[in-house]
Copies of this chain bind each other. A is one copy, B any other.
Amino acid sequence: MSKKKLSRGVALVGAGMSKFGAFPGLATRDLFVEAFQEMLTTIDKGIDPKDIEALYIGNYSSDLFEHQGHTAPIMADWTGLAPRPATRIEDACASSGVALRQGIIAIASGLYDIVLVGGIEKMSDLPTAEVTDTLATASDMLYEIPAGFTFPGFYAAMGTAYMHQYGATPESFMHVGIKNHNNGTLNEKAQFGATIRKIMDGKIAKAEAKGYPVPDWADEVEFLQDNRANPIIAWPMRLFDCSPISDGAAALLLVSEEIATQFTDTPLYIIGSGQASDVALHDREVLTSIKAARLAGQEAYEMAGVTPADIQGAEAHDCFTIAEIIATEDLGFFAPG
């Protein structure tokens, strides 16, 4: 396939996000309005929202989480943008990433100059077993789910394959969780906003205050090895290896390159984008790498004319600790293993 190129340039000029967490009593639309309102404040030179021409909304399963389909037009209506075209993109965990890509493509096509991209999910209304069922619909209901797999289970299976191939241990994964919870404290919108150390110290303090036996965890790893403090979800993935059940929304404003400086003197130009799909886990040649991620990364690098060594910052998908390890390898930041 020849090198891919967009017909015209696209820039990012605004971004907003709701707080992330479990918010009983709030609907997806409430969170999206929160993200949209913040996005409007981030556009340096301002915007009349009526100039927005279309919406691309990434959402995995409002159908099962909220029993609400036809989700994109509701987001358009609630942000005052109806009757603009509103399209929902569903690609499981990648839904919002793909929505961003469709927004880029739509501007490149010449059809629109100003596009709102949203990412929304409201997971916390369902009990855990139904959340587990809903996440499992991202795998193959006919051939994978009858085997008892859950979504954490798939990544856990990649984890055991990874341990077998490279000699990693459950503790290797725990260090990813410790790092990411540290990062979370730097983001005021993060769900927990606490280091594993702080969570551990909190539990010790609570035990002391209540007169319970005080746990004798020497460090975070010992805390994370404790079945009671960090129960197994799908071995080797434990609670703190898994991203939580979250509610949240994000909003981005994309504009065509020609008009980007009308909104800010420092637009972020989109220089590369990639997308690929993959097959059921059992049909993959290797179980310790995700081909779709490798191909998507490669496409984006080629479009941008850069190599992994040029990348200074990345947000990789880290639904599970093993997922981040594999993603950073597939994107070329680290050698396999």
Contacts and interface: CB of A to CB of B under 8 A. Distances in A.
Contact of A92 (B8, B70, B275): B70
B6 A138 contact: no
A201 B6 CA distance: 59
A288 interface: no
A304 interface: no
Interface string A6-50: 111000000000000000000100000000000000000000000
B87 A89 contact: yes
B279 A77 contact: yes
Interface residues of A, number: 65
Nearest to A68: B141
A276 B112 CA distance: 13
Contact of A85 (B64, B71, B275): B275
Interface of A: 1, 4-8, 27, 53-55, 60-61, 63-64, 66-74, 76-77, 82-92, 98, 102, 104-106, 108-112, 133-134, 137-142, 275-280, 283, 291-292, 295-296
Given A89-B90, A102-B105, 18 more contacts: A4-B110, A6-B109, A7-B7, A27-B142, A63-B69, A67-B137, A67-B141, A70-B90, A70-B139, A77-B283, A82-B277, A83-B277, A83-B291, A84-B277, A85-B275, A87-B102, A106-B109, A108-B111
9 contacts: A69-B92, A70-B91, A82-B278, A83-B277, A83-B278, A83-B295, A88-B89, A89-B89, A106-B109
